[in-house]
Chains A and B, each alone.
Chain A
Amino acid sequence: MTDKRLIDIDPLTGIQTWYVNESTDGNEFKVHEVQDVSGIIEANKYQANEDHGGWSESRDFRKVGTIPLTVIQQWKTEKGIDVFNKDHWPAVKRLLNDSDWRHLRSAHWNV
Chain B
Amino acid sequence: MAVPSGTTTTFDLTGIREDLSNLIFNISPTETPAVSNMKKGTATSTYHEWQTDSLAAAASNSHLDGDDSSPNTIQATSRLGNYTQILKKTVQVSGTSDAVNKAGRAKELAYQMSKRSKEVKRDLELSVTQNSAAVAGSSATARAMAGMETWIASNKDNFTDGTTPVTSSGAPTTAPTDGTTVRTLTEAQLKTVLASAWDAGGDPSTFMVGSFNKQQASTFSGIATLYRDTAPKVGQTQIIGAADVYVSDFGQLAIVPNRFMRGRTGLVVDWDYWKLCPLSGRSFKQERLAKTGDSEKRHILGEYTLECCNEAASGKIADLAVA
Mutual binders A and B:
yes
- Among B29, B106, B249, the residue within 8 A (CB) of A76 is B29
Nearest B residue to A69, CB-CB = B30
Q: Flag whether B16 is at the interface (Cβ < 8 A).
A: yes
Whether A26 touches B29, Cβ cut-off 8 Å, given contacts A14-B237, A39-B233, A47-B221, is no
Q: Flag whether A100 is at the interface (Cβ < 8 A).
A: no
Classify chain A: how many residues form its interface, as a range: 35 or more
Please choose the segment from B61-69, B130-138, B166-174, B222-230 that sits at the chain A interface, where 4 or more of its residues have CB less than 8 A away. Answer: B222-230
Minimal beta-carbon separation of B313 from chain A (angstroms) = 12
Minimal beta-carbon separation of A66 from chain B (angstroms) = 5
Minimal beta-carbon separation of B254 from chain A (angstroms) = 6
Nearest A residue to B29, CB-CB = A73
A64 near B245: Cβ-Cβ < 8 Å: yes
A60 near B187: Cβ-Cβ < 8 Å: yes
Minimal beta-carbon separation of B91 from chain A (angstroms) = 14
User: Once bound together, how far apart are the Cα atoms of A15 and B30, in whole Å?
Assistant: 10
Whether A84 touches B33, Cβ cut-off 8 Å, given contacts A61-B187, A63-B245, A66-B245, is yes
- Among B106, B110, B232, the residue within 8 A (CB) of A46 is B232
Tell me which residues across on chain A come within 8 A of B191, comparing CB atoms: 58, 60-61
B242 near A67: Cβ-Cβ < 8 Å: yes
Please choose the segment from B72-80, B145-153, B175-183, B203-211 that sits at the chain A interface, where 4 or more of its residues have CB less than 8 A away. Answer: B203-211
Give A1-23 interface residues, CB cut-off 8 Å to B: 3, 5, 7-8, 10-15, 17, 19, 21, 23
Classify chain B: how many residues form its interface, as a range: 35 or more
- Among A29, A37, A40, A45, the residue within 8 A (CB) of B110 is A29
User: Once bound together, how far apart are the Cα atoms of A23 and B106, in whole Å?
Assistant: 10
The total number of A-B Cβ pairs within 8 Å is 197
Tell me which residues across on chain A come within 8 A of B233, comparing CB atoms: 39
A57 near B243: Cβ-Cβ < 8 Å: no
Give A27-84 interface residues, CB cut-off 8 Å to B: 27-29, 31, 33, 35-37, 39-40, 42-43, 45-47, 50, 52, 54-58, 60-70, 72-73, 76, 82-84
Tell me which residues across on chain B come within 8 A of A89, comparing CB atoms: 205, 251-252
Tell me which residues across on chain B come within 8 A of A27, comparing CB atoms: 15-16, 106, 110
Tell me which residues across on chain B come within 8 A of A14, comparing CB atoms: 235, 237-238, 241
B242 near A7: Cβ-Cβ < 8 Å: no
Tell me which residues across on chain A come within 8 A of B86, comparing CB atoms: none
B221 near A54: Cβ-Cβ < 8 Å: yes
Minimal beta-carbon separation of B107 from chain A (angstroms) = 4
Q: Flag whether B288 is at the interface (Cβ < 8 A).
A: no
Minimal beta-carbon separation of A105 from chain B (angstroms) = 9
**A-B contact sample (6 more), CB < 8 A, given A21-B110, A89-B205:** A26-B109, A46-B232, A47-B223, A63-B220, A64-B246, A69-B242
